Amino acid sequence: RHFLKSMTERPPTQGEPPLKKYKEAEKDEWKELLEKNRMWAKDKTTIQPDYFSTLKESQEPPFLFIGCSDSRVPPTALTKSGPNTFFVHHNVANQISSSDMNFMVALEFAVNTLHVRHIIVCGHYRCGGVQAAIKGADGLMGAWVQPVRRTYLLNREELDKLDELEQWRKLVELNVINQVKNLLHLKVLIEPIFAGKSTPTIHAAITDLRDGLIKELPLPLDEWKATGLIPQSYNNNNHIVG
């Protein structure tokens, strides 16, 4: 009993964060967040009094945004937009997998219920998940980014000719294209595509943290047609990059 009491009352050892200071900072951060929320809501109703009464009725976002969990790349901030613009799904390294039920439900709901007009698969340079794949991370992170690791290994001869930063950037791009390819394997899209029905326009995109700009990558549709992934008639709604 005395031993347990002494353990709970012991002073912090060197390197430990002071608990009281941490708790105070945590409380202040949360209060600040709530205050900013109140300010945002007030600003919205000042400009448009019926903003929330309209917003609550339904959501009709034109975009499904599939992006990385990274806190530096929120789509609404990057595009100067707001609520009812994006239906979002985030995970580490913006991956698409038929075994991810969270993602599969989001995709099905976005396409079949919300009828989004665009699907954006968006990565970002300096992605920690992609870097973990290059380095061969262990544990749960290693298991999660293994598909990205496989992309790295398949393209290693080309990638190893680049310096470390350029290699990282190139794999971010290859990963986004590969995730779009994974997307096109899924029933909710590929069946209507082969049936000649209307489907959302698909965009492969990268956010550059150096300047905050989003760029779109061209999709290798001809290559995918040659392998039979998509039919010869598919043109992604005649979308042209650039």
Is the pLDDT confidence value at 3 over 60?
A: no
Task: Say whether 68 is catalytic.
Answer: yes
Q: Residue 7: what pLDDT?
A: 36
| The pLDDT value given to residue 115 | 98
122 is known as an active-site residue: no
Reply yes or no on whether 127 is catalytic. yes
List the structure tokens of 186: 């899924």
Catalytic residue among 28, 72, 115, 185: 72
Residue 212: per-residue pLDDT? 96
Whether the CA torsion 141, 172, 165, 152 is positive or negative: it is positive
The mean pLDDT of 37-64, rounded to a whole number, is 94
* Residue 13 pLDDT class (50, 70, 90 cuts): low
Q: HEC string of 53-95?
A: HHHCCCCCCCEEEEEECCCCCCHHHHCCCCCCCEEEEEECCCC
Instruction: Classify strands 201-208 and 63-68 as parallel, antiparallel or unpaired.
Output: unpaired
Residue 237: per-residue pLDDT: 97
The catalytically annotated residue of 1, 43, 50, 70 is 70
Task: Name the pTM for this structure.
Answer: 0.87
Q: Are 183 and 121 in contact (CB under 8 A)?
A: yes
DSSP E strands, 21-167: 63-68, 86-91, 118-124
pLDDT confidence tier of residue 58, bands split at 50, 70 and 90? confident
Give the residue-averaged pLDDT of 216-240.
Answer: 97
Identify the active-site residue in 89, 124, 169, 203.
Answer: 124
pLDDT at site 6: 39
Please give the pLDDT value at position 85. 96
208 catalytically annotated: no
Q: Is the pLDDT of residue 222 over 50?
A: yes
Structure confidence at residue 21 (pLDDT): 67
User: What pLDDT was estimated at residue 174?
Assistant: 98
Please report which confidence band the pLDDT of residue 197 belongs to, taking 50, 70 and 90 as the band edges.
Answer: very high
CA distances from 231 to 6, 17, 27, 103, 202 (A): 71, 58, 55, 25, 15
Query: In the prediction, which pLDDT does 242 show?
Result: 81
Query: How confident is the prediction for the chain on average, in pLDDT?
Result: 92
**176 closest CA partner among 86, 80, 87, 73:** 73
Q: In 3D, which of 205, 13, 26 has the Cα closest to residue 122? A: 205
Q: Which of 195, 188, 211, 32 is nearest to 119 (CA)?
A: 188
Annotated active-site residue 124? The verdict is yes
| pLDDT score recorded for residue 57 | 87
Place of tokens 């973990």: 132
Give tens-digit pLDDT for 149-172. Answer: 999 999 999 999 999 999 999 999
| Catalytic member of 122, 127, 149, 203 | 127
